[in-house]
């Protein structure tokens, strides 16, 4: 075995070899958590592929052997006949490059295997939906061309692995690495796992779950779930997700399993974590884990809470918070309180809070702005919205991510922006918007928070850092370490404490 490692407790290599995703899955395995069976193709195989322009010597044979073992474990056969095995083929480098590389799901669903899956489940629609996702996965993995998808399952798998390897070297990925100082010669690992189907039936679905609220750091589970769908639909932002807590009613066993898993994972990493998960016919599977990743006040709160719970020491809490977290922490935020009239939530794209009257077209935003602040609310923005963006105090869009045109323009103008609020619909013709099951006419007051992505009706209270008890606590600990002293700002107090601790 040179190129492939089993996804088992005994595999003990680093994320450089297995990729961050593969490494995290092994950790989950060791914690006794449910991970679909599979294997990892190492980053070395990717480097060889990129050097030679084809799958390296011996990889095909290793793939065949690994697939045989997977068939034995699952009692299925790749491509059929009988109960067909389908696999997910996902990228995962040692360094995270979000959104840059490819994933192909449902690999192995040849026309024959699709018929087999339909026969097995008695659900042809589900089988065809899965096959369609395979085809569109290949189409987006090889942009600008229409690849012929082989009807041989083994060949499909080899193609998918090649497509994921190749995605390491797209111009866009190269640009990303140049910008972020990531070496070009690392390559990506590939994680191959038996498919679990979030689109299987009404008791299936996919989601993302955080052990603690990533917007506030509060110690409550947070996240979103999509019933009846595969995970790509959650990440793409194209579908309206439901709050994670809905699982508690609809799938109590999945919910309980998820809470238990998040708890065990947090104990292991000693940090706030989040997971991507799928449940199929009421059974929970974990597909990815990521520790940390919180910013601003949420990061401060988690570090302080973890120290007070005894999971980490106070010194470690101080070392986890970097001075730029405090810069974030000083950005105005909507005050979290029980009376908050939350309409919906999107992705914060430019920090800051904006309150104003809803305008659903750029022209009306420009006109209404003469009488007071407006928030421009659009499905997404186009160049025709520029004068409305210029006139508005903030912008809210239903689609798009933090790199969308709307986000780029809002940041260029320094305006708070929330994008990708997928639950939001904008009816410009009728001059109204719908969110959270409610309808707001143009001219109604809303407030958006470009850090946490909250969209709130009316004019809630806005807070900045000094009122934050967790930050206060952290800075007390900082002063204990370095003796304190008057006349220093938050970042200076933290920096002084870190300097003492890092010297030890």
Cβ-based neighbours of 483, under 8 Å, separated by 6 or more: none
Query: Among 63-71, 205-213, 244-252, 408-416, which window interacts with other proteins (CB under 8 A)?
Result: 408-416
For 184, half-sphere exposure in the C-beta direction (CA atoms, 13 angstrom radius) is: 12
The residue among 76 and 498 lying less far from other proteins, judged by its C-beta, is 498
Considering only CA atoms, which of 197, 5, 206, 195 is closest in space to residue 87? 195
Query: Among 1-9, 69-77, 112-120, 404-412, which window interacts with other proteins (CB under 8 A)?
Result: 404-412
Question: Could you tell me if 231 and 275 are in contact, meaning their C-beta atoms sit under 8 angstroms apart?
Answer: no
Cis peptide preceding 81, ω within 30 of 0? yes
Query: Among 19-27, 122-130, 155-163, 381-389, which window interacts with other proteins (CB under 8 A)?
Result: 381-389
Question: Among 1, 64, 386, 467, which residue interacts with other proteins (rule: CB under 8 A)?
Answer: 386
Question: Among 327, 330, 472, 488, which residue interacts with other proteins (rule: CB under 8 A)?
Answer: 327
Give dist(CA 323, CA 36) in Å, integer: 40
Give dist(CA 342, CA 307) in Å, integer: 31
Q: In whole angstroms, how close is the CB of 390 to other proteins at the nearest point?
A: 9
Query: Among 228-236, 243-251, 271-279, 362-370, which window interacts with other proteins (CB under 8 A)?
Result: 362-370
Indicate whether 403 belongs to the interface with other proteins (CB under 8 A).
yes
Question: Among 58, 112, 282, 293, which residue interacts with other proteins (rule: CB under 8 A)?
Answer: 293
* Count of residues engaged in binding other proteins, rule: CB under 8 A: 39
Query: Among 86-94, 186-194, 288-296, 473-481, which window interacts with other proteins (CB under 8 A)?
Result: 288-296
Q: Strands 353-359 and 374-378: what pairing?
A: parallel
Dihedral, 63, 146, 116, 85 alpha carbons, nearest 10? 20
Give dist(CA 136, CA 426) in Å, integer: 28
Question: Using CB under 8 A, which residues numbered 85 to 144 contact other proteins?
Answer: 96, 143-144
Q: In whole angstroms, how close is the CB of 325 to other proteins at the nearest point?
A: 8
284 by DSSP, 3-state: which? Answer: strand
Dihedral, 328, 330, 331, 333 alpha carbons, nearest 10? 110
The residue among 292 and 313 lying less far from other proteins, judged by its C-beta, is 292
Query: Among 74-82, 332-340, 374-382, 467-475, which window interacts with other proteins (CB under 8 A)?
Result: 374-382
Cβ-based neighbours of 5, under 8 Å, separated by 6 or more: 11, 13, 17, 18, 22, 39, 40, 42
Q: In whole angstroms, how close is the CB of 213 to other proteins at the nearest point?
A: 17
Indicate whether 325 belongs to the interface with other proteins (CB under 8 A).
yes
Q: Strands 84-85 and 77-78: what pairing?
A: parallel
Indicate whether 54 belongs to the interface with other proteins (CB under 8 A).
no
The two tokens of residue 383 are 């160049």
Asked whether the CA dihedral 88, 240, 328, 416 is positive or negative, the reply is positive
Indicate whether 408 belongs to the interface with other proteins (CB under 8 A).
yes
Indicate whether 385 belongs to the interface with other proteins (CB under 8 A).
yes
Question: Among 34, 58, 282, 402, which residue interacts with other proteins (rule: CB under 8 A)?
Answer: 402
Q: In whole angstroms, how close is the CB of 454 to other proteins at the nearest point?
A: 18
Query: Among 117-125, 249-257, 361-369, 478-486, which window interacts with other proteins (CB under 8 A)?
Result: 361-369
SS (H, E, C) 196-218: CCCCCCCCCEEEEEECCCCCCCC
Considering only CA atoms, which of 75, 74, 84 is closest in space to residue 126? 84
The residue among 274 and 325 lying less far from other proteins, judged by its C-beta, is 325
The residue among 123 and 492 lying less far from other proteins, judged by its C-beta, is 492
Question: Among 132, 184, 324, 438, which residue interacts with other proteins (rule: CB under 8 A)?
Answer: 324
- The number of beta carbons lying within 10 Å of the beta carbon of residue 122 is 8
Q: Strands 333-334 and 425-427: what pairing?
A: unpaired
What does the per-residue mask of binding to other proteins show for 165-194, with x meaning CB under 8 A?
------xx--xx-xxx--------------
Residues near other proteins (CB under 8 A) = 96, 143-144, 171-172, 175-176, 178-180, 292-293, 295, 322, 324-325, 327-328, 351, 362-363, 366, 379-380, 382-387, 402-405, 407-409, 411-412
């Amino acid at each position: 075995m040179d190129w492939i490692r089993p996804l088992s407790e005994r595999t003990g290599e680093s994320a450089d070899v297995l990729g961050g995703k593969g490494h995290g899955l092994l950790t989950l395995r060791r914690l006794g958590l449910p991970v679909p069976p599979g294997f990892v193709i190492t980053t070395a195989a990717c480097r060889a592929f990129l050097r030679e322009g084809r799958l390296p010597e011996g990889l095909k044979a290793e793939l065949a052997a690994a697939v045989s073992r997977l068939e034995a474990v699952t009692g299925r056969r790749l491509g059929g006949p009988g109960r067909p095995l389908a696999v997910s083929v996902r990228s995962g480098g040692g360094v995270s490059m979000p959104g840059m590389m490819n994933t192909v799901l449902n690999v192995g669903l040849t026309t024959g295997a699709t018929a087999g899956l339909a026969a097995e489940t008695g659900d042809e629609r589900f089988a065809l939906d899965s096959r369609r996702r395979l085809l569109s996965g290949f189409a987006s993995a090889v942009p600008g061309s229409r690849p012929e998808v082989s009807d041989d399952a083994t060949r499909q798998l080899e193609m998918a692995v090649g497509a994921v390897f190749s995605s390491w070297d797209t111009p866009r990925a190269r640009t990303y690495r140049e910008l972020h100082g990531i070496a070009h010669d690392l390559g990506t690992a590939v994680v191959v796992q038996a498919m679990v189907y979030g689109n299987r039936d009404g008791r299936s679905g996919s989601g993302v779950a955080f052990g603690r609220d990533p917007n506030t750091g509060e110690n409550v589970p947070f996240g979103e779930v999509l019933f009846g769908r595969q995970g790509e639909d959650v990440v793409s932002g194209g579908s309206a997700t439901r709050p994670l807590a809905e699982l508690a009613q609809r799938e109590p066993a999945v919910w309980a399993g998820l809470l238990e898993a998040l708890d065990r994972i947090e104990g292991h990493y000693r940090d706030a974590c989040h997971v991507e998960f799928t449940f199929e016919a009421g059974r929970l599977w974990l597909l990815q884990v990521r520790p940390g990743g919180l910013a601003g006040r949420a990061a401060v709160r988690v570090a302080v809470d973890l120290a007070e719970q005894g999971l980490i020491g106070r010194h470690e809490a101080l070392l986890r918070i970097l001075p730029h977290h405090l810069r974030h922490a000083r950005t105005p935020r909507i005050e979290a309180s029980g009376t908050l009239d939350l309409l919906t939530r999107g992705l914060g794209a430019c920090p800051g809070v904006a309150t104003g009257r809803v305008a659903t077209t750029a022209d009306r935003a420009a006109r209404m702005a003469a009488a007071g602040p407006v928030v421009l609310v659009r499905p997404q923005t186009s160049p025709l919205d520029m004068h409305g963006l210029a006139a508005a105090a903030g912008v809210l869009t239903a689609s798009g991510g933090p790199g969308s045109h709307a986000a780029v323009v809002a940041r260029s103008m320094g305006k708070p922006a929330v994008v990708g609020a997928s639950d939001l619909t904008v009816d410009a013709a009728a001059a109204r918007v719908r969110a959270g099951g409610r309808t707001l006419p143009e001219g109604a007051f809303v407030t958006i928070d470009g850090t946490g992505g909250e969209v709130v009706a009316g004019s809630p209270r806005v807070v900045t850092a000094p009122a934050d008890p967790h930050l206060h606590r952290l800075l007390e600990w900082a002063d204990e370490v370095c003796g304190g002293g008057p006349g220093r700002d938050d970042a200076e107090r933290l920096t002084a404490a870190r300097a003492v601790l890092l010297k030890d």
